[in-house]
A and B are shown apart, each in its own frame.
Chain A
Amino acid sequence: MSAAGLLFGPDGWGALLLKGALVTIALALTTVPFGFGGGLALAGLKLSRWRTIRALSEAYTTFFRGIPDLLALFIVYFGLQALLDHAQEALGLASRLELSAFFAGVIALSVVVAAYSGEVWVAALQTVPPGQVEAARSLGLDRKRAFFLVVLPQLGRVALPGLGNVWTVLLKDTSLISTLAVTDLLRAASEASKNTTRPILFYGAAAAIYLVFSLASGAGQAMLERRANRGIA
Chain B
Amino acid sequence: MDALHGLLGFVFNAELLSQYGWRLLSGVRITAEVVLLSCSIGFVLAYPICRARMSRNPLLWGPAAAYIAVFRGTPLLCQLYLVYYGAGEVRPWLTGAGVWWFFRDAFYCCILAFSLNTAAYQAEILRGALGSVARGQREAAAALGLSPYRAARHVVWPQAFLAALRPLGNELILVIKASALAAIVTLLDLMGQTRLIFARTFDFSVYLYAALIYLAATEGIRRLWSRMERAASKHVRPVELPRAAVPARRGGMPIRSAEYMPPG
Instruction: Mark A residues whose CB is within 8 Å of B.
Output: 47, 54, 62-63, 65-72, 74-75, 78-79, 82, 116-117, 119-120, 122-123, 125-126, 130, 162, 165-166, 168-169, 172-176, 178-179, 186, 189-190, 193, 197-200, 203-204, 206-207, 210-211, 214-215
**CB proximity of B84 to chain A, nearest CB, Å:** 9
Judge whether A186 and B263 touch: CB under 8 Å.
Answer: no
What residue of chain B has the Cβ atom nearest to residue A130's Cβ? B252
Complex partner residue of B70 from A67, A198, A207, CB under 8 angstroms:
A207
Question: What is the interface of chain B mostly: helix, strand, loop, or mixed?
Answer: helix
**Distance, CA A179 to CA B70, complexed state (A):** 22
Complex partner residue of A203 from B78, B176, B183, B211, CB under 8 angstroms:
B78
B81 interface residue per 8 A CB criterion: yes
**CB proximity of A1 to chain B, nearest CB, Å:** 14
Give chain B interface residues in 21-77, CB to chain A under 8 Å. Answer: 69-70, 72-77
Q: Which residues of A contact B207 (CB under 8 A)?
A: 71, 74-75, 78
Judge whether B86 and A67 touch: CB under 8 Å.
Answer: no
Judge whether B77 and A125 touch: CB under 8 Å.
Answer: no
**CB proximity of A20 to chain B, nearest CB, Å:** 12
The stretch among B146-154, B212-220, B237-245 that forms the contact with chain A is B212-220
What residue of chain B has the Cβ atom nearest to residue A171's Cβ? B75
**Distance, CA A169 to CA B121, complexed state (A):** 13
Q: Which residues of A contact B179 (CB under 8 A)?
A: 68
**Distance, CA A210 to CA B69, complexed state (A):** 11
Complex partner residue of B73 from A47, A74, A178, A214, CB under 8 angstroms:
A214
**CB proximity of B179 to chain A, nearest CB, Å:** 7
Q: Which residues of A contact B85 (CB under 8 A)?
A: 193, 199, 203
Instruction: Mark B residues whose CB is within 8 Å of A.
Output: 69-70, 72-79, 81-82, 85-86, 88-90, 173, 176-181, 183-184, 191, 194-195, 198, 204, 207-208, 210-211, 214-215, 218-219, 222, 252-254, 256, 260, 262-264
Judge whether A186 and B81 touch: CB under 8 Å.
Answer: yes
**Beyond A66-B222, A203-B86: 16 further Cβ-contacts under 8 Å?**
A62-B215, A63-B215, A67-B218, A68-B178, A68-B191, A68-B214, A69-B177, A75-B208, A78-B198, A117-B263, A126-B256, A130-B253, A189-B81, A203-B82, A214-B74, A215-B69
Number of inter-chain CB pairs below 8 Å: 136
**Distance, CA A176 to CA B76, complexed state (A):** 10
Judge whether B77 and A186 touch: CB under 8 Å.
Answer: yes
**Distance, CA A211 to CA B70, complexed state (A):** 6
Judge whether A47 and B254 touch: CB under 8 Å.
Answer: yes
Judge whether A200 and B82 touch: CB under 8 Å.
Answer: yes
Judge whether A71 and B191 touch: CB under 8 Å.
Answer: yes
Judge whether A204 and B82 touch: CB under 8 Å.
Answer: yes
Judge whether A68 and B184 touch: CB under 8 Å.
Answer: no
Judge whether A172 and B177 touch: CB under 8 Å.
Answer: no
Judge whether A71 and B180 touch: CB under 8 Å.
Answer: yes
Q: Which residues of B contact A123 (CB under 8 A)?
A: 256, 262
Judge whether A70 and B78 touch: CB under 8 Å.
Answer: no
Judge whether A197 and B214 touch: CB under 8 Å.
Answer: no
**Distance, CA A116 to CA B78, complexed state (A):** 22
What residue of chain B has the Cβ atom nearest to residue A193's Cβ? B85
Judge whether B177 and A67 touch: CB under 8 Å.
Answer: yes
Judge whether A199 and B191 touch: CB under 8 Å.
Answer: no
Residue among B81, B86, B207, B253 with the highest chain A CB neighbour number at 10 A = B81
**CB proximity of B188 to chain A, nearest CB, Å:** 15
Judge whether A178 and B77 touch: CB under 8 Å.
Answer: yes
**CB proximity of A57 to chain B, nearest CB, Å:** 12
Judge whether B75 and A175 touch: CB under 8 Å.
Answer: yes
Judge whether A211 and B73 touch: CB under 8 Å.
Answer: yes
What are 19 residue pairs bridging A and B, where the CB atoms are less than 8 Å apart in the complex? A63-B211, A66-B219, A68-B176, A70-B183, A70-B184, A70-B191, A71-B194, A79-B204, A117-B263, A122-B256, A162-B262, A172-B74, A172-B75, A175-B75, A186-B81, A199-B86, A207-B79, A207-B82, A211-B74
Judge whether B89 and A198 touch: CB under 8 Å.
Answer: yes
Judge whether B89 and A200 touch: CB under 8 Å.
Answer: yes
Judge whether A211 and B69 touch: CB under 8 Å.
Answer: yes
Judge whether A176 and B215 touch: CB under 8 Å.
Answer: no
**Distance, CA A214 to CA B73, complexed state (A):** 5
Judge whether A169 and B89 touch: CB under 8 Å.
Answer: no
Q: Which residues of A contact B69 (CB under 8 A)?
A: 211, 214-215
Judge whether B253 and A199 touch: CB under 8 Å.
Answer: no
